Amino acid sequence: MKIIQLQLYVLICCQAAVSDLVTDLGSNVIINCDLDENEVYWILLKTADPPTVILRSFSTPKSPFYHNKTFRKKYSVQFKHRLVINNVTADELGVYYCMNTETPLKLSNSTRIYFNEPVQITECQNQTQWHIIIIISGLMNGLLIIVVIGLVKVFVVGNKRSSKRTHQLNTDLQQTQVIEQHQDQLQYAEVDFSKLRRNIRSSQINSTYAALQLPKS
């Protein structure tokens, strides 16, 4: 309920003095709070949006209380409730207020943040798109190179295996021919040996016959 009251109060008092703070995209911004209070709220007001309570700051070393956990990465607090915005983007553009937490409610002078040149946002987006395109193109080229290298390796290994197989087949064929030649020679030697045995038997028979023949008177 108290947060709703704060938002309504900001809507009513939004006619307070506004100071402009020009910054660049991605820079860090520090906004001062001109209220001398122990505790304050930091509130962001955007066009056509209800006020957003960012955090509650304390004068003691106590850590600020964030009304949304996502604000921890973007906002922080320094001495005397000074609000620090890290890496400003288009989402942080708007009017900032600090307001006390006790009654009567007090509202500081507001600070409006905007970029030096709105065209920079478009240029940055275009540069980001080009960077993405370049990165994707580099990845695709790298992948293509890897595929080509793999195909070359497969082709070279296949040729080596094919040449080894051809050489092995030629070697086997030569060995087969040598074995066949040896077999032919062995068969021829066997035939010659059989002839030799017949000759030996014939000579033995003749010699035996001569030995048995009686001498003539």
Which CATH number is 40's domain given? 2.60.40.10
In a domain? residue 206: no
Residues 45 and 112 in one domain: yes
85 Cβ contact partners less than 8 Å away, ≥ 6 residues apart:
28, 29, 30, 31, 74, 75, 92, 113
217 falls within a domain:
no
Q: Are residues 165 and 130 in the same domain?
A: yes
Residue matched to tokens 């195909």: 151
**What is the biggest distance separating any 2 CA atoms in the chain, rounded to whole angstroms?**
177
Expressed as residue numbers, the domain containing 154 is 119-200
The phi, psi pair for 84, rounded to 5°, reads -110, 125
What own/partner pairs with CB < 8 Å and gap ≥ 24 does 73-80 have?
A: 75/42, 77/42, 78/30, 80/32, 80/33
- For residues 10 and 111, membership in a common domain is answered with yes
**Residues 83 and 135 both lie in one domain:** no
Q: Decide: helix, strand or coil at residue 215.
A: coil
Alpha carbon distances (Å) from 111 to 6, 97, 137: 18, 7, 43
Same domain, 129 and 195: yes
What is the C-alpha to C-alpha distance for residues 33 and 110, in angstroms, rounded to an integer? Answer: 9
Displacement of CA 87 from its chain's centroid (Å): 25
Structural domains in the chain (count): 2
Strand order in 75-77's β-sheet? Answer: 29-31, 83-85, 75-77
* H helices present in 2-118, as ranges: 2-12
Low-confidence ranges of the chain (pLDDT < 70): 1-16, 117-126, 172, 177-217
Q: In sequence order, which ranges of 1-118 are alpha helices (DSSP H)?
A: 2-12
Residues 8 and 90 placed together within one structural domain of the fold: yes
Report the pLDDT value the prediction gives residue 29, as an integer from 0 to 100: 94
- Pairing mode, strands 83-85 and 94-100: unpaired
Question: Is there a domain that residue 30 lies in?
Answer: yes
Burial of 9: CB neighbours in 10 Å, binned 0-12, 13-18, 19+:
middle
102 inside domain: yes
Per-residue model confidence (pLDDT) at position 74: 93
